Structure 1
Amino acid sequence: MKAQLDLMQAALDHINQGFTVFDSDLKLVAWNRGLSDMLDMPPEIIRRGSHLEAFIRVNAERGEYGPGDIEGKIARRIERAKLFEPHYFERVRPNGQIIAVSGTPLPQGGFVTIYSDVTEDRRRQEKLERTVEERTRALRQSEDWLRLVTDNIPALIAYLSPGPVFRFANRRYADWFGQSVASIAGRPAPEVVGEELFKELHPHIERAFEGKAVSYEYQRKRADGSTAFMRSTLIPDMTVDGRTLGIFVLSLDATDQKQAEATLVQSQRMDAVGKLTGGLAHDFNNLLAILMGNLLTVSRMEDPIDKSALDRKLSPMLEATKRGTDLIQRLLAFSRGKAIDPQTVSLAQIIASAGKLLDGSLPSTITLETETSDFGIGARIDPTQMETALINLAFNARDAMPDGGSLRISLSRTELDKQDAEELGLSAGSYAQVTVEDTGSGMDDETKLRIFEPFFTTKNFGTGSGLGLSMVYGFIHQSGGAIKVDSEPGKGTRLALFLPFQPLDEAGLDGFETACQGDLKRGDGELLLLVEDDPDVANTVTDQLQNLGYTVLRAESAEDACNLAFELPELRGVLSDIIMPGQMNGLALAREIRRKRQDLGIALMSGYADWSALAGQDDYSEFPVLAKPFADDQLADTLQKILSPST
């Protein structure tokens, strides 16, 4: 037992705090060496059985409790000790040492007391408090300077803490939201900026609190009703370990800049319109070259003219006019913001059709060769755009071979592995490859890097728009493909067009040429009313209708058409232009006739880009509309649709 007590005493002596245990009679039963070291107690009283009063008397007599009645001080402390209540207090000794005394009662009476020297801790705390006070004073002075500076900066400045809650705003920021500087601090952001605007700004604020710098623009009505445009930047206030404490807000009034940008954009738009005109001329000049080349060939033919030879020249001319019509429709669709639906078509047939268009249009010094042996290679594209792309590439090749040469268009199926596909920006897989090769002048590296830029051209001013290749590039990429260019000065150019491969069955092989090769749906003498105020157009459409087997009655105005439609029971259908002079346009005419003659088939036609706006109507789905000019097969199909319900 003694050995255990000695061991416990040795352990207590190593504690750097004073330690005592008094029993229920307030007599000392245990202590450690730290007690005498810390409190400087006489050795004769530090023994088992010493009463608490002896310790208190030593402290009182040497002034530990301050001046005054010593016996009274001793008595009061003994009475409090007899209560055996938990207690804690700090006492400053005459030498300046600060002792923290913590007493805990024991279950059977008595208490354990811990004496801690907290002198250094309290001095550090006092020093820290003085430092905080000094820094607070300096910070307040800095804030005054900051306020002075930020209030005079022509910008809106604020600070948001998590919540988000405003902690700071300069005068301009407060004024912008109809607040005062004092009223903003401590208020949630939705209250300051308004719920509606906060919904717009909230996603940006969330991203900033995630630690990302954010820039955005928003607009807001001023008090005078005018619209102001603001450009804001949010900068996270982050700690070293990556926590976001808040965000700094910087907003600038961008109204004047926006107005200047709008003026510049309008100017650029007008400039782009002029350049776009050159692009349209580029495509139409290619089509006109086909027409002109074949017309010149026809004009040189000796009498009597060989009909088969004449047909060979007229066919591409008709195809070129059809492509011109298709081009116009694509431009109109673009102007209305409508996309053209792609089709799964045979690339071999498209290349063959383009070859027919180019035959007779290229100089005799240039040899054109097409290789399309695999008719099962398909792609999901707009066939007209693909033909236009091949024509553009062919005429670019022609310009690169002023002294003649050879042009070859070929088709193959290829498998792109991961590396080759990544170089082209594609996914690995099966692709249709259309290759256009020439033996022309070729290109240097700098030119190759820029050939697909809009309006870039190496041709003399006025001879090229620089839009041909950019249109090809845009079309191929919109179709999910890519273009690879191989060229060297003096060694010609090879362009490989990659399109996602689509297999074709026998039913799909003739998808592109069905309309051209199939039999026209003809009429059987049915009487049709043609309403067209332009005599030349009326003559052309009349010839088309009569060639399709219909009988034609003409009217030049909506009023005449109404009278004829109501008075002729044998009339079977009406084909009317939409935009006409007078009080009634073609759409209103069609609806008036339909109201009284349910038995008549009615179709409309127009050559305007946005005829619905000109007609004052938005919904025209009840009648089919033919876009001028239209081919015989389009006209025949439309007439069959409107007449078949009454047959």
Structure 2
Amino acid sequence: MEVALSLFAGLLKLRGHHPLGYGLALTMCLAGLLLRLALDPSGRGAPFATFMPGILLSAFAGGVGPGLLATLMSALLANYFFMPPEGFYAFWPRGWVVVTAFCIVNGCIVLLMNAAVVRGLKLSRAVALLRSANTTLEARVAVRSTALLQAQEQLRQAQKMDAIGQLSGGIAHDFNNLLTSISGSLELVQSRLAQGRVGEIGRYIDAAQDSADRAASLTRRLLAFSRQQTLEPRETDLNALVEGMEDLIRRTISPGIAFETARTRDLGSIQVDPNQLEHALLNLCINASDAMPSGGTLLIITGRHTLDKAAAAALDLPVGEYVSLCVSDNGIGMPQSVIDRAFDPFFTTKPPGRGTGLGLSIVYGFARQSGGQVHIQSAPERGTSITLYLPRHPDPGMADLAQSARVTLPAATASAAARRALVVDDDTAVRMLILDQLEELGITASGVEDGPSGLHWLQNHPIDLLITDMRLPGGLDGCQLADAAREALPGLPVLFVTGLADGSPRNRLPPGMYTLAKPFAMATLAARVRDILALA
């Protein structure tokens, strides 16, 4: 095909030069004459045979004009040299019939060949144009694709900045209120102490503590949304969990709403934090109740699914078996524009004071952190169904993963007195509070601010307990420090205090290592320390 196209391209150039075509016709006629004389000098028989190739080649390369010229010249030469003479240019008897037939037949052949060649040349031009168009199209597609990718990236960046702006604005609003309450309460405490009005400071301390608790709750919600909250996964029976929450849900939703459940048998177990799952379920039920101000039906459905490659890709999940928890209502529903933003933090369609905009974002963060997904199906005036997909536990009889990650701490039976501890935290205030609490327990405690300082201190002082943040400055994090401490003191109890679940690179902690999520109450710290030392 390529050779033929190249030949046609060459013919296209030759056909554009008419003198060359006619010259080729005369040359072919002369060549046919010489060939005829060389093959049969006597000139007898088949007078036109050697002229045929020249006629065909002239028509092929030159077109109609050169082809017809070659036909006429061949007829004259054949008549003159190879037919019985009856005078110059005279035809032998009935010879004119043969010559005329030769001219007519070859003229038709010339016309047919020219039509075929013209068609081939048109095809060659079309192929060339198609190639050019393909090349141009590929270039245009590449340019448009690049522009589209850039536009998509700009859109993603704009959406990201919009989400960050909304998130930071919501955080700033809530924390400014909390900080105002805390700082104002502390100022009034100082003022009342200076005035000797000690009896009035209790309510200010309570207000500051309440604001601190609400700030802690807000940070936990934000960590849940970002999938960095500290989870305690355990084997959980989803049907049993739903059954255990039925009374609470009935008391929580509006009285005019009918509550129903449809639980699939033989679900198997799931590996989740049951407390967080209960919180997510209650959150979804409250949202469903709010979506039915005139009453309706709230339905909780459990199910078991095996997701193949296509279904898993649609849900952005790995292929495998999943257990589903669906909360469905026949309320006002949501348009697609609301569904697209439903998981955005601080986004809410409820009136002011009715919602924080963190409910669904917390559910989404919990599901993703647990290896699952959340799917929303809704339409205006057609209700809403929100389904959680959670990985089904492969072995229901398997021991609780949480038990392999930590030991359940029994009540303390031994005194914490006469023990020594090291506290490593880069926050001065946190380090001071922990040290003071340990001193109240009768523990001799020292504190440093970074990993290398803690390692240096450990090399020179024996201890009974290491309390460390997971993220530390100085190039040595809390886990590395704990490993180094256990090399020198095998079995040393370690308590990690952290504000993020991803502060440790480990999914499971070895025995004798524990975590305590910030923020924590000093009483909680004291109880945890007593229990750890009682086990040591």
Give the alignment's TM-score, normalised by structure 1. Answer: 0.39
In proportion to residue count, which structure has more helix?
2
- Quick check: which one's strand share is greater? 1
Name which structure has the greater RCO, CA cutoff 8 Å, separation 6+: 2
TM-score (norm 2): 0.45
